[in-house]
Amino acid sequence: MQSVAINILKNPFWQKKLHICAKIVSPTSMDPKKDITIYDIAKVLNLSPATVSRGLKDHPAINIKTRKRITDMARQMGYRSNNFASNLRRQKTNTIGIIVHELKSQFISSVLAGIEKVTADAGYDLIIGHSSEDYKKEAANAHNLFHKRVDGLIASLAFDTKDLDHYTPFIQKKIPIVFFDRVEEVPYGTRVIIDNVRAGYEATAHLAAQGCKRIAHLTANLTRNVYAGRLKGYKQALADNGLSFDPALLLVGDLSETHALQAAKQVLSMNPRPDGIFITNDFCAAVFQQALKEAGCRIPEDIAIVGFNNDVICKIIAPKLTTINYPGEEMGEKAARSLLEQMAGHASAKSTDTIIIKSELIVRESSVKK
């Protein structure tokens, strides 16, 4: 048997055939610029392109051994499936676009985790655009995602977004949009939010219940629904507790570390000082609290503090921070499910729904005076 094999190998005909096969299969001989196709694989394995195509799709009509030969050879030759071409034929890319206003936020991270959890199970990939709180970047992200042919879009608006014209192409092409957290009242797109008025009310009413008489409010751009709603709840709670609204106690900025330090300095210079403050962001509240402590203020005896979001930092700082729990992961899941239902054309899925997620006050040491 060995001598027969040696004789075959010495035969010029078989030497030429083996050389050709080796040249095709050898990764070092392949042109790195040329994509390997099913026709290349079919030629090496002496199979039809149709058989290779079915084998790569794990089609039951192709026996298991042949399927393994095909997939092994595809891997060896560096074959990549051309999803783009097949998606274009199907008018579907199996991608979902996401636009967020920041990436450093734990809230946004939890929203993205909720979205990914739902969309991954449904077989969708995500493309994330980051506006950095800038309208022009948000518009550029929307333009980019539209031309990447995403099947649907989930978005949260930037601080300074004044109009939503950059979403018009999606509406014209009937591409579903779900807005979350920061939204606008427009005649299209589903909105997933919490009741910000109620949340602002609960935070402020809690401080009033602790005996606070001069309650400040540290917040951000009041043209955005989230901050406008929380301010409205703050004012309602003051009125219901017999306290007057003082514009001097309304501190508006960008909720950054710098803004928190400036606000702390401003509060320390007030006479009389506030004895309570509702801050619409936990990170900002933590920086503010630390600055006051370093200046000799006692928390909560001198000033009680309530934050917003229920970020991890609430449990790390001392005293631990009272806050409004904002369930980001649940918001992400609800937004993703709504989008998938609309893309699937479910009759129950309305493109103009408003979905309200429940929030709640979590009381910790930073606000408890009594």
Q: Distance between CA atoms of 80 and 36, rounded to whole angstroms? A: 7
Q: What is the mean pLDDT of residues 212-228?
A: 96
pLDDT of 49 reads 86
Q: What is the mean pLDDT of residues 21-46?
A: 66
Q: Quick one: pLDDT band at residue 31, thresholds 50, 70, 90?
A: low
Q: What is the mean pLDDT of residues 69-84?
A: 79
CATH class of the domain comprising 196-327+361-367? alpha beta
Q: Distance between CA atoms of 367 and 300, rounded to whole angstroms? A: 5
Contact between 267 and 216 under an 8 Å Cβ cutoff? The reply is yes
Q: Distance between CA atoms of 111 and 333, rounded to whole angstroms? A: 8
Taking only Cα atoms into account, the Rg of the chain, rounded to an integer number of angstroms, comes to 30
Domain boundaries, the chain: 2-78, 91-194+328-358, 196-327+361-367
- Strands, E assignment, the chain: 95-100, 125-130, 152-155, 177-180, 190-194, 215-219, 250-252, 276-279, 304-306, 323-325, 354-357, 360-362
- Burial per residue of 74-96, b for 16 or more beta-carbon CB atoms within 10 angstroms, e otherwise: beebebeeeeeeeeeeeeebebb
Q: What is the mean pLDDT of residues 6-18?
A: 51
Q: Quick one: pLDDT band at residue 83, thresholds 50, 70, 90?
A: low
CATH class of the domain comprising 91-194+328-358? alpha beta
User: Which amino acid is present at 47?
Assistant: L
pLDDT of 117 reads 96
Range with the poorest average pLDDT among 60-74, 86-100, 130-144, 164-178: 86-100
Whether the per-residue pLDDT at 2 is higher than 80: the answer is no
Whether the per-residue pLDDT at 310 is higher than 70: the answer is yes
pLDDT of 59 reads 85
Q: Pick the most confident of 121-125, 185-189, 232-236.
A: 232-236
Q: Of 229, 226, 274, which Cα lies nearest the Cα of 249?
A: 274
Two domains, one topology: 91-194+328-358 and 196-327+361-367: yes
Report the 3 state secondary structure along 322-346. EEEECCHHHHHHHHHHHHHHHHCCC
